Amino acid sequence: MKKIIESLSPNERKIIPHLKDKNINEICKKSNLDKVSVLRALEYLQNKGITKLNYIKKKIIEIGINGALYKKKGLPERRLLNLLNEKRIIPLEEAQKQSKLSNDEFKASIGVLKKKALIELKNKKMILNANKEEIHKKMLEELFIESLPLEYELLSPEQVYALKSLQNRKDIIEIKEKTIVEINTTELGETIINSKIKIKELIEQITPDMLKKSSLWEGKKFRRYDITSPVPEIYGGKTHFVNQAINYGRKIWTDMGFKEMNGNMIQSSFWTFDALFTAQDHPVREMHDTFFINKKAELPNKKITEAVKKAHEQGVGGSKGWGYKWDEEEAKKIVLRTHTTCLSAQTLANLKKQELPAKFFAIGKCFRNETIDWSHGFEFNQTEGIVIDKNANFRHLLGYLNQFFKKMGFNEVRFRPAYFPYTEPSIEIDVLHPEKKVWLELGGAGMLRPEVTIPLLGEHIPVLAWGPGFDRILMDYYKIKDLRELYKNDITKLRKIKFLMK
């Protein structure tokens, strides 16, 4: 027991004499400690076997914003009754004016009083139908508000009736679930409280002065520390787990020899669609898929613009194109980028032949005009990649993707044939869910078509390209079932979630 006493902190020593009060508020008053310090000290005492705490959840009914106002001024129906007590009969219009009630309060008061059979309405007049004793018996809500706060489980039948009546009215009462701490002293605790052992002040920490002067600690006792006792969790600041994952993805690509592409979230339709051989009448360019901005952009240099126009109208590299008249004004429309592939198009247009072969990647925010649900959002992160190499082939593409997804924690990856306007051949990327054992679709990839490469590079050079959704990778990895949880900023979840990628 002596060792336990020597391990007591100053706050624990302060509250021990008052444990018999069994009331946290009383302990706070007598020990001059705040509630948080008292609760923490009680938990430490419980770890040492001195106290036993029971946490009981109770529903507590408290007064709301309007309730506090009505407690001071009186309920609207009471103010109306006070007016009727003086006159017994009063025209409705005059009653509202003299009672100074709002239109909603006046209507609600009439409804309440009629339901209680305290008034009747005749010929646009209000008539009082009850005496003072009857009014007092039926105005249970007033007594209920005066007696708050109350425990829900301890309500009398009359109070339950009053509660139901007030619950239908805005902000008069609030029902909150609170945790009540029940304090019990153990046999060891009783022994310590009743013992004659003096709880002396002990040295809590070593200071620089103590190291200089031995007289400050010689002959004195240091407090024992129990290093096995659990302590309150401390949550330090950290990067959001989505940003941590983005930085990790960025590291994977750079470790594989890729350079990062950067660009604005606001792009012209030329780079977002036209340079990628997406026809100007393609549904993806319509308002229901894309966020348009009411401005126009300048087109790039004439050489690239004419080359893209030719690819659409006549075709290039053996293609027939789309066979329509390409419209410059449509290409000038500004949008919030719907994918990061627009950065790939710009990178190809600015690439010099002496820089080949080259590898680039991007991870960035994209926007689409989607209906928000568990699997869709109007903004999302996408990871983009291109490899420009005269010797590149389809097997290289599969190899890069396999390597990336393995580093992201997916050991089994599957590729399926697919179609995209600007790649051929094209594939969909699936990964095997480790628990459900089902394949999850993560995005698309392929080799850029000549209609994309010839206008931007001047000749057809093999370009491997991919653009899976990064957020869907995170959803599966972190077992998040709703895409919206990635950006809800629930502080409790953010504190607990751990960055697991390595």
In terms of Cα–Cα distance, which of 396, 318, 362 is closest to 467? 362
What is the pLDDT at residue 306? Answer: 95
Q: Which amino acid makes up residue 353?
A: K
Cβ count near 415 (within 10 Å) = 15
Cα–Cα distance between 91 and 256 in angstroms, integer? 86
What is the pLDDT at residue 266? Answer: 94
Cβ count near 19 (within 10 Å) = 19
Cα–Cα distance between 473 and 466 in angstroms, integer? 14
User: What's the start-to-end Cα distance of the chain, in Å?
Assistant: 48
Q: Strand (E) positions, 392-422?
A: 413-420
What is the pLDDT at residue 188? Answer: 87
Three-state DSSP state, 289:
coil
Maximum Cα–Cα distance across the chain: 102
Burial class for 215, CB neighbours closer than 10 Å (0-12, 13-18, 19+): exposed
pTM above 0.75, yes or no: no
Query: Is residue 453 assigned to a domain?
Result: yes
Which residue do the tokens 């040492």 mark? 48
What is the pLDDT at residue 114? Answer: 87
CATH of the domain at 377: 3.30.930.10
In terms of Cα–Cα distance, which of 92, 143, 147, 141 is closest to 119? 92
Retrieve residue 7's tokens.
């391990």
Sheet of 259-260, strand order: 259-260, 358-367, 379-388, 463-466, 439-448, 423-432, 413-420
Q: How many residues does the chain have?
A: 502
Cα–Cα distance between 122 and 439 in angstroms, integer? 73
Q: Under 8 Å CB-to-CB from 186, ≥6 apart: which residues?
A: 49, 50, 51, 52
Sheet of 333-336, strand order: 266-268, 333-336, 292-296
What is the pLDDT at residue 330? Answer: 94
Query: Is residue 465 assigned to a domain?
Result: yes
| Cα dihedral 63, 65, 70, 76 in deg (nearest 10) | -120
Give the chain's domain count. 1
Give the pairing of strands 89-91 and 125-128: antiparallel
Strand partners, 128: 119
What is the pLDDT at residue 200? Answer: 63
Query: Is residue 188 assigned to a domain?
Result: no
Retrieve residue 468's tokens.
């899976």
Q: Under 8 Å CB-to-CB from 75, ≥6 apart: which residues?
A: 109, 139, 141, 142, 145
Query: Is residue 437 assigned to a domain?
Result: yes
The answer, yes or no, to whether the previous bond of 357 is cis (omega within 30 of 0) is yes
What is the pLDDT at residue 368? Answer: 87
Query: Is residue 202 assigned to a domain?
Result: no
In terms of Cα–Cα distance, which of 128, 124, 125 is closest to 113? 128
* E strand or H helix that includes residue 3: helix 2-6
Q: Strand (E) positions, 113-219?
A: 119-122, 125-128, 150-151, 173-185
Query: Is residue 34 assigned to a domain?
Result: no
Query: Is residue 135 assigned to a domain?
Result: no
Distance of CA 197 to CAs 3, 18, 192, 194, 362, Å? Answer: 12, 16, 8, 9, 70
Tens-level pLDDT at each residue, the chain (502 residues): 777 777 788 888 889 888 888 888 899 999 999 988 999 889 888 888 889 999 888 899 999 888 888 888 888 888 888 888 877 888 888 888 888 888 888 888 888 888 888 888 888 888 888 888 888 788 888 888 888 888 888 889 888 888 888 888 888 889 988 888 889 888 888 888 887 666 566 777 788 888 888 887 887 777 777 677 666 677 888 888 888 889 988 998 999 999 999 999 999 999 999 999 999 988 888 766 888 999 999 999 999 999 999 999 999 988 999 999 999 999 999 999 999 999 999 999 999 888 999 999 999 999 988 877 776 778 888 999 999 999 999 999 999 998 888 888 788 889 999 988 899 999 998 887 666 677 877 788 999 999 999 999 999 999 999 988 888 778 777 778 777 888 878 888 888 787 665 5
Q: Strand (E) positions, 114-241?
A: 119-122, 125-128, 150-151, 173-185
Cα–Cα distance between 248 and 341 in angstroms, integer? 20
Dihedral-angle region of residue 315 (phi above 0 means left; psi in -120 to 50 means alpha; beta otherwise): left
Q: Under 8 Å CB-to-CB from 139, ≥6 apart: which residues?
A: 75, 77, 78, 81, 116
Domain containing residue 444: 243-496
Query: Is residue 117 assigned to a domain?
Result: no
